[in-house]
Structure 1
Amino acid sequence: MLTFELNGQRYNKKAHATALAQKLDGRSLGSIEFKRGNISAVMLSLGYPYINGYKPRSNFQAMLVTEVEAQLSADVALQESVQAAVLRPALSMTAENVQDIWVPAPRVPVPKVSRSKPSTGLREERPEYTPRFIARQRDYLAQEARNRSLGCAGELFVADLEARRLHAAGQKTLSERVEHVAATQGDGLGYDVLSFEDDGRERLIEVKTTSFGQLTPFFVSSNELARSEHDADRYQLYRIFEFRANPRVFRLLGPINTHCVLDAVSYLARLAG
C-alpha cells in the first residue's frame, strides 16, 4: 500500500484490511488497524515513511522490528519508490485557502520497544531514552531532510503565508517586511523566516517540511535548539506535512525541547588532549 501511495496510485485501505482479516481467523478490523499503527512506528524507527492514516503507535515488540526489516529488505519496488520520493525536487506553491492548512499540534507518546509480552492495555508511557541498535540500510527520512529543494519550497511557502496573514490583518507595511532570512542572510541564524505579530513584535520562524505524514520525525540542529531557548517568546517552529499533496501546518511555540523528545543522532568529535 505504501508503494501505491508514494507512486500516486489509488488503493482501498478498508478492502485490504477486510481481505487480511479473512486470512487471520478471529482478528477484528480494529485489531488489524491497531497493529498497522505499531508497524507505522517501526517504519519510522527504520527511517521509512508510514502509510497515511495509520497513526504510529508505540509499545511494539522487538520481534515486529525484525519482521518489518525483513519485509522491507525484500521489497525492491518499495525501496525504489521511497528513494524517488525523498529525492524528488519540490516546486514552490502557495496556499489556496490559508485557514484550511492550520491544524493543532499533535501530542503523541514516544515509540517504545517491548521485549516482553504485549500489554493488554492501550496506555502508552513516555520512556527514558535508551540506545536502540537497529540496522538501517538507508535512512530515507534523513535523506528527505537533506532535500534542499523541498526545504526551500517549504520556507517560501511559510514566507508567503505570513505575508498574507499580516496583509489580511491590515498590516500591509509589516507584510512587506517578511523576510526569507535563510536565503537573504544565510544559514546559522537558527530560524528561516523573519515575520511579525500583528502588533509589530518579531516572530522568528524555523520551517521543517516533509512530503509525508503529520507524525514524521524531523531533525533540528543545536543552533536551532539554542535559538528557540534564547528567544523563546519570539520563536516558533512551523511543521509542514504532506507538502506535495495537501500541505498543512502546525506550530510549536518557544523552546523546541518542551514539545519534542530529542534523540542525539550525531556528535562533532574533537580529539581530547
Structure 2
Amino acid sequence: MDEFVRLGRTAFLTRYGFGKSRDFMVRDAKTGQLCDSKAIVGAAFGYQFPEEGPLKAADFSGGEATVVPKLQRLGFEVVRIGEDWSADEVQATVASYFEMLRLEAAQQNYTKTEFNAQLRQQLRGRSKGSVELKLQNISAVLHGLELPFIAGYKPRANAQLLLRQAVQRFVLDHPEFVGQVVDAMEEVKAPGQVSFYASLVEPPPMERVLQVKGNMPRARLPRKVDWAQRDEVNRKLGRAGEQWVIGYEQRRLSDAGFPELFQQLEWTSERLGDGAGYDILSHERPGVHRFIEVKTTNGGHASSFIISRNELEFAAEREDAFHLYRVFQFREEPKLYVLKGNLADQLHLEPIDYRASFRRLMA
C-alpha cells in the first residue's frame, strides 16, 4: 500500500499488470486512500515470497469469494466501490440527477459535464468518473422502479443501499414533481424530421440481477408514476407510434423491392380496435404475412413495457411471423428494435395483474 500511494494508482497497476477493480477496494489505514484490492493482494504475494515474485492478474480470481475474505481476515477494511459515499454526498448527487432529469423532460438544453463539475464541488474529492458511475446507479434504481431516467446515463446496477433509499425517498416525497416529469416525457410530439433510415437497433441484452429475498419488503410507489403502465394506456402515444411504424414499413418494403405490398398493409388496431394480438398486418414478401405489435415510449432503449396475455399467446402461435416493434425515444429521434417470434423465450415476464371473479376452476 505504501508503494501504491508512492507510485500512484495508474503507475502501480501498470507495474503489476492489473486493471482497475470493478467491485472492491481496500483502505490504506495510514492514509485512508482506497487501493485496488486484487492488485494489492497480487503485489503483496511478491513481498512475502520474493523468490516467486508477485502474482499476475490471470493467476487468481478476485472478488467476494477470494480476495475480500483474505484481506478481511488480515484485518483490512474492504469497501465495495461506491459504498463509501456519505449521506450528504448521496443527497447532493440525487438532487443534481433529478434536476437534470427535469430539464431533459422539459427538453431544455443542459450540459452534463457542467453538472458533474458543480456536483464535485460538494463532494469529498470524488473523480469525474466516480460521479458518472453514481449517476448511472441512480438510473438503474429508477429503471427498477419503472420510472424514466436520463438517457445519457445508462443504468448500472450494484447501487449502494444508501443511494437506493435516497432515490426512493425522493420519489415518495416529491410525487407532484415525479408526476410532472412523467407527464412531460409522456407528451406526444411529432418527430422533427421523420427518418426511417438507421432507425433499427439491436434489442437490449438480458441483464442478470440479484433477486430480492422473499422476506424483504417491496417498495410500493403511487400508481400514477408507473412509467410502463402510463405508456400502455396513453392511446395518443400508442397511435402516433403505430403511424410511425407504418411509415417505417413503407420504407422497408420499398427497400426490399416490394413497394406494391404496402398497398396491402392493414392498420388492424385502428380498424378493429385492440384485442387481435397485433396492431399492423404487413408482409415479409409476397404471400408471407408479418404481424406487428407496436410498443411505443418516449423513454430510452431499455425501458420496460406492458404486454398482454393475448399478445403473448398470439406471438407463440404465429412464431416467426410475429414481430414486436419496440419504438423508443419517440419524441426526439425515434428508434426501434424488433423481437421476432415467441416472446417468452426473449423477455423476463413478470405477472402484474389478476382478473377477479367468483368462479372457481375445478380440476
Which TM bucket (shorter chain)?
0.7 to 0.9
Alignment of 1:26-175 (within 5 A): 26-75=125-174, 78-85=177-184, 88=187, 90-91=188-189, 96-112=194-210, 133-137=218-222, 138-141=224-227, 142-175=229-262
CA contact (8 A) 1:92 1:157 kept: no
Counterpart of 1:197?
A: 284
Whole-Å Cα distance in 2 between the matches of residues 262 and 252 of structure 1?
14
Provide, for residues 58-112 of structure 1, a one-character-per-residue CA deviation record: whole Å limited to 9, x for no partner.
Answer: 2334443321022233446732532422553x35569733222111112141454
C-alpha deviation, 1:227, in angstroms: 1.0
Whole-Å Cα distance in 2 between the matches of residues 260 and 132 of structure 1?
25
Task: Quickly say closer, same or farther: Cα 1:109–1:210, change in 2 above 3 A.
Answer: same
Counterpart of 1:23?
A: 122
C-alpha deviation, 1:45, in angstroms: 2.5
Alignment of 1:191-230 (within 5 A): 191-230=278-317
Task: Quickly say closer, same or farther: Cα 1:49–1:242, change in 2 above 3 A.
Answer: same
Whole-Å Cα distance in 2 between the matches of residues 203 and 84 of structure 1?
33
Provide, for residues 101-145 of structure 1, a one-character-per-residue CA deviation record: whole Å limited to 9, x for no partner.
Answer: 111112141454779xxxxxxxxxxxxx99861120233412232
Provide, for residues 133-165 of structure 1, a one-character-per-residue CA deviation record: whole Å limited to 9, x for no partner.
Answer: 112023341223211000011111112211222
CA contact (8 A) 1:93 1:153 kept: no
CA contact (8 A) 1:164 1:175 kept: no
Provide, for residues 26-46 of structure 1, a one-character-per-residue CA deviation record: whole Å limited to 9, x for no partner.
Answer: 422222222222211211232
Whole-Å Cα distance in 2 between the matches of residues 216 and 48 of structure 1?
9
Instruction: Give 1:16's aligned amino acid.
Output: F
Whole-Å Cα distance in 2 between the matches of residues 265 and 63 of structure 1?
27
Alignment of 1:249-264 (within 5 A): 249-264=336-351
Which deviates further from its counterpart, 219-228 or 198-207? 198-207
Q: Could you say what secondary structure the match of 2:323 adopts? A: strand
Q: Could you say what secondary structure the match of 1:252 adopts? A: strand
CA contact (8 A) 2:191 2:330 kept: no
Whole-Å Cα distance in 2 between the matches of residues 193 and 95 of structure 1?
23
CA contact (8 A) 1:58 1:113 kept: no
Question: Normalising to structure 1: TM-score of the pair?
Answer: 0.85
For structure 2, list consecutive stretches of 5 or more residues without a partner in the other structure: 1-99
C-alpha deviation, 1:172, in angstroms: 2.7
For structure 1, list consecutive stretches of 5 or more residues without a partner in the other structure: 116-128
Q: Could you say what secondary structure the match of 1:100 adopts? A: coil
- Among 319, 335, 342, the alignment partner of 1:248 is 335
Task: Quickly say closer, same or farther: Cα 1:174–1:260, change in 2 above 3 A.
Answer: same
Task: Quickly say closer, same or farther: Cα 1:175–1:245, change in 2 above 3 A.
Answer: same
Instruction: Give 1:39's aligned amino acid.
Output: I
State the aligned residue count: 259
Which deviates further from its counterpart, 17-26 or 169-178? 17-26
C-alpha deviation, 1:171, in angstroms: 1.4
Identity %: 34
CA contact (8 A) 1:2 1:50 kept: yes
Structure with larger Rg: 2
Task: Quickly say closer, same or farther: Cα 1:221–1:80, change in 2 above 3 A.
Answer: closer
Instruction: Give 1:263's aligned amino acid.
Output: E
Counterpart of 2:38?
A: none
Matched, 1:231 2:318: yes
Instruction: Give 1:10's aligned amino acid.
Output: N
Whole-Å Cα distance in 2 between the matches of residues 111 and 81 of structure 1?
30
Instruction: Give 2:101's aligned amino acid.
Output: L
Provide, for residues 199-224 of structure 1, a one-character-per-residue CA deviation record: whole Å limited to 9, x for no partner.
Answer: 44111111000011111110100011
More helix by share: 2
- More contact order relative to length (CA 8 Å, sep ≥ 6): 1
Instruction: Give 2:263's aligned amino acid.
Output: E
C-alpha deviation, 1:9, in angstroms: 0.8
Whole-Å Cα distance in 1 between the matches of residues 193 and 140 of structure 2?
30
Superposition RMSD on alpha carbons, in Å? Answer: 2.5
Task: Quickly say closer, same or farther: Cα 1:113–1:7, change in 2 above 3 A.
Answer: farther
Counterpart of 2:112?
A: 13
